[in-house]
Structure 1
Amino acid sequence: MANASGSGMDGKTNWQGAIYDLLRANGVTQFCYVPDAGHKVLIDRSLADPDAHSVPLTTEEEGVAMVAGADLGGARAVLLMQSSGVGNCINMLSLTQGARFPLLTLVSMRGEYGEGNPWQFAMGQAVEPVLRAMGVIVLRAEYPHEVAATVGAAITMAFQSGQQVAVLLTQRLIGAKKF
């Protein structure tokens, strides 16, 4: 069961590492990703973990199929992507409702708080309404102290209730890239 207490998350601890520990403690063994600095800790830890399978993707929609395959095989997977990748997944997200498999995705956000790259705004602002339109439940983590509880809730919703859930790791949380 997901730890939603947020223990150990005092705002100064490594919330990225805590996400990885929480995913692994809840049976997530497959990490699908397109390389992204916002998910660097998760990607690096999954690559170093002999009991995890890290799958680099050429495009984010492949991750939706990977998550479906993991579920069919009795495993748990998470799709890691940046907000710009959500636009690539729209058609594949339609499969989650018809095929009725759980989806857990962690989305590192761009195009919001403190963004300096004008190209990131369009998709960054569209992420939440697009996901909701595709039937995905959207949760947001803005501060380090709320990450564990938010990801824990998403794990429960996805894997115990069979829902499609995205956790948006906001730019306030991960920080805006400097250009």
Structure 2
Amino acid sequence: MKPEPPPRLWPGEIYDTLKSVGVRQVAFVPDAGHTQLISSCHADPDMKAVSLTTEEEGIAMLSGAWLGGDRGVLLMQSSGVGNCINMLSIVTHCRIPLLMLVTMRGEWGEFNPWQLHMGQSTPKVLEAAGVFVQRADAADEVAQVTYAAAQLAFSSNTPVAVLLSQRLLGFKDWSK
């Protein structure tokens, strides 16, 4: 039996950062890269974590949260970014802050060819839609990048995406 890998520390650092900036609502499409963070948010009685059927629902949910006085975050995988393009116009034109944490696919060590094109296009697609894009490639920078992105989103009323690189998430070897 293969031993369980030790838990990664950076999802806990993201959780702590989200708490420190006052995030109370978490919208997510289930994703292995966000598992630890989602579990922490579900366990927190001061956070409302909502599983979505598709990513653009999260933009609507978090827009409503903002209008109701709550801060939120949208957790998704890069393959879901394309689902959000039309909805991003709402937050851009209405100047509603949107913080997105995007686990990347289609990069280092990708095993699924269907993930390649959207993974490689994600930063360009987000930028073309008016989203400020920041990236974390190493565990020791995740909390700082997330904090800076949250400050930008919530102080400027603008959409900001933090791309969590596939190298950060780890290599999946399906050849064995």
Q: Same fold (TM over 0.5)?
A: yes
* Distance in 2 (alpha carbons) for counterparts of 1:152 and 1:170: 17
Deviation at 1:97, TM superposition (A): 1.5
Secondary structure of 2:151's counterpart equals helix
Q: TM-score normalised to the size of structure 1?
A: 0.91
Q: What whole-Å deviation, never above 9, does each CA across 1:116-169 have from its counterpart, x for those lacking one?
A: 111110110110000000000000000011111100100100111212100000
Q: What whole-Å deviation, never above 9, does each CA across 1:56-75 have from its counterpart, x for those lacking one?
A: 00100000101101110010
Q: What residue number does 1:4 align with?
A: none
Match for residue 75 of structure 1 among 52, 70, 80: 70
Structure 1 runs (4+) deviating above 2 angstroms are 176-179
Deviation at 1:94, TM superposition (A): 1.1
Deviation at 1:173, TM superposition (A): 0.7
AA in 2 matched with 1:98: H
* Distance in 2 (alpha carbons) for counterparts of 1:178 and 1:121: 16
* Distance in 2 (alpha carbons) for counterparts of 1:141 and 1:169: 5
* Distance in 2 (alpha carbons) for counterparts of 1:96 and 1:158: 11
* Distance in 1 (alpha carbons) for counterparts of 2:16 and 2:162: 16
RMSD: 1.2
Q: What residue number does 2:110 align with?
A: 115
Higher relative contact order (CA 8 A, sep 6+): 1
Secondary structure of 1:35's counterpart equals coil
Matches within 5 A, 1:23-172: 23-172=18-167
Identical-residue share of aligned pairs (%): 59
Contact 1:116 1:176 in 2 (8 A): no
Deviation at 1:177, TM superposition (A): 2.8
Cα gap change, 1:34 to 1:13, in 2 (>3 Å): closer
Deviation at 1:35, TM superposition (A): 0.4
Q: What residue number does 1:8 align with?
A: none
What is the count of residue pairs matched by the alignment?
Answer: 168
Structure 1: runs of 5+ lacking an equivalent: 1-11
Deviation at 1:13, TM superposition (A): 6.7
